Chain A
Amino acid sequence: MKLQKATRYGLYAVLELAANPDEQLSATDIAAAYGISGNHLAKVLRDLGRAGLVDSARGAGGGYRFSGNARRVTLLDVISLFEDISSDTGSGDGADTEIGRALDLVLGEIDDIARATFGSITIETLLKTMRWRQEREARAAAPDLASPG
């Protein structure tokens, strides 16, 4: 599945800010961390601000911080701000044919699974999963250090 650039930037920003709740990060900081356009990210951050997911402080030491509830906000909540991933079936050339309808059933099934997946993963769950993976990789790299006692 390929998400639009703004969607991906929005997810980067929300997750980076939620992972660092005690810090205020500028658009430049986040853009540098992910190697992405600062101008584009600034526009995305404004959209996130309007949605109540980030807030900003101006001036020296200012920046953005995550202002949503990480246990409640899902990836789908963020994605939906930037693009519509609902099924676009039953429209377009050839959709009103037997084969078009059969094909739409399959495409709808895929979209349904994608929405259920994004809608069930909260910001906190994704960050927790990332930390578990890091810990598992660290244990695999240094098994002697990880063994108890």
Chain B
Amino acid sequence: MTDDTTLLANDNATRHATGDGEADVLVRRATANDLPLVIELDGDNTGLHKPDYWGETFHETERHPGQHFLIAESASSDHEFLGFIVGEVRAWEFGSRPCGWILTIGVVHERRVAGVGSALFDAICERFAADGVKTVRTMLARHDQLNMSFFRSQGMMAGSFIELEKPID
């Protein structure tokens, strides 16, 4: 749970106190130098190695306002990589008013349940709010208990849309 957020001067980075004796977390925009660690963490979490996807995602977020690729790192001097979150503001798809979409989040396994995910969530919500939207949304696999529990712990609940699908024969 994030208790305090202080806007820092460099690159809109935000500092988040995690409480419970954990070190503060710094959340900042991603740089190209972060990509190897992001690719590795995503590969660990999903079992899929996708360097092209992450390269393209990074360059898209660099080009378009309203797209956010954020990195969490330790606020201590070693700036240890802790995780990442990606999201963007989208408007009018599915008849939806503009809202912020969280597309993916990843936290280093050893640093889970220590406020890192909450710091990333709070940071991207602050950026979405600055973009002028009032709602944040995500989509999850129904049986993805880990992420479902995390997003619910941030106050998210089922929204007014429902996903439907069918195999195309």
Contact = CB atoms under 8 A, between A and B. Distances in A.
Interface string A121-143: 11011001100100000000000
B149 A112 contact: no
B9 interface: no
Contact of A128 (B142, B148, B155): B155
Contact of B152 (A71, A112, A113, A121): A121
B143 A116 contact: yes
A76 to B, nearest CB: 10
B48 interface: no
Contacts, number: 30
Q: Which of B113, B148, B158 has the most CB of A within 10 A?
A: B148
Given A120-B148, A122-B149, A113 B155 contact: no
Interface SS, A side: helix
A119 interface: yes
Given A122-B149, A125-B149, A116 B142 contact: yes
B153 interface: yes
Nearest to B141: A116
Interface string B150-169: 00110101100000000000
Interface of B: 113, 142-143, 145, 148-149, 152-153, 155, 157-158
Interface of A: 71, 74, 112-113, 116-117, 119-122, 124-125, 128-129, 132
| The 3 A-B residue pairs with the shortest CB-CB distance in the complex, in nearest-first order | A120-B148, A116-B142, A125-B153
